[in-house]
Amino acid sequence: MVDDDAPIRRMLGRTLAAEGYRVAAADDGGGALAAIERSVPDLLVLDVRMPGLDGFAVCRRVRERGLAIPILLLTARDAVSDRVEGLDAGADDYLVKPFATAELLARVRALLRRGRDPAEVLACGDLVFEVETRTARRAGREVELSVREAGLLKLLLENQRRVVSREVALERVWGSAFAATANSVDQCVLNLRRKLGEPSVIEAVRGTGFVLGR
């Protein structure tokens, strides 16, 4: 839950916690993205007007990372053009301030229900990856992955036995908004190999990129 207004942030936190939700709060867009990098939530409740990265920018960054987190935008801006901008940025729902607590909670419940559709699962041998939760298991052992590690593994699994170039990986996993280099991809692959264990399922293709499952 992200809002730069401390009293509103506390009120929303208490309201959601009282309904049994575990709430992590951030006071700006940068803090929100850092929190998501550490642990991806089931739902993002996001204020629009914030200093630095506003809610629209956060939405775009989240979607550029390939994350399907349901996003509920909260804002005092109720013009049709504002709602359209929020939805085009990747939000799933839009609630105008001031709002009734009962409506907020109803929208939260509805968005969380949408996230309970049967999960897409990608697999290669004894490696299994659940897309929505970004949960990886190797030979039954759960593997904890960062957001980018999960994004890269998903990309490789979707392109099994096909070479994924570093350029494609940068575009699909890091996105144009992030300053990253080919070395970023190489380091992420090293981390994935270490976490997934032996025998390695990711093979380097000299001068090109990487392939999984060949």
Integer angstrom CA distances of residue 49 from 107, 149, 171, 183, 201:
20, 31, 28, 35, 44
Of 93, 114, 135, which closes a domain?
114
CA–CA separation, 92 vs 110, rounded Å? 11
Same domain, 86 and 11: yes
DSSP characters over 123-166: EETTEEEETTTTEEEETTEEE---HHHHHHHHHHHHTTTS-EEH
- Neighbouring residues of 5: CB distance < 8 A, sequence distance ≥ 6: 47
Domain that holds residue 130: 121-212
Q: Quote the pLDDT of residue 178.
A: 57
Instruction: Give the pairing of strands 121-124 and 93-96.
Output: unpaired
Domain edge (last residue) among 60, 94, 114: 114
- My answer on whether 99 and 150 are in the same domain is no
Kindly report the CATH number assigned to the domain that includes residue 35: 3.40.50.2300
Residues 130, 161: one domain? yes
144 inside domain: yes
Greatest extent of the chain over all pairs of C-alpha atoms, in Å: 58
How confident is the chain (214 residues) per 10-residue block, as mean pLDDT?
Answer: 91 89 90 84 90 89 83 84 84 88 90 66 85 82 88 91 90 70 89 92 90 84
Q: What is the DSSP letter of 170?
A: I
Q: Would you say residue 77 lies in a domain?
A: yes
Residue 150 tokens, joined: 């999960």
Q: How many residues does the chain have?
A: 214
Residue 154 has a pLDDT of 92
* pLDDT score of 193: 93
The number of distinct structural domains making up the chain is 2
How many whole angstroms separate alpha carbon 54 and alpha carbon 22? 24
Write out the two tokens for 149.
């590690």
The dihedrals phi and psi of 123, each to the nearest 5 degrees, come to -145, 150
Q: Are 38 and 147 in contact (CB under 8 A)?
A: no
- pTM, two decimals, is 0.56
Q: Are residues 69 and 129 in the same domain?
A: no
Confidence at residue 165, expressed as pLDDT on a 0 to 100 scale: 92
- Say whether 104 sits in a helix, a strand or coil: helix
Return all residues near 135 (Cβ < 8 A) that are at least 6 apart: 129, 142
Within 8 A by CB and 6+ apart from 32, the residues are: 2, 26, 44, 46, 53, 58
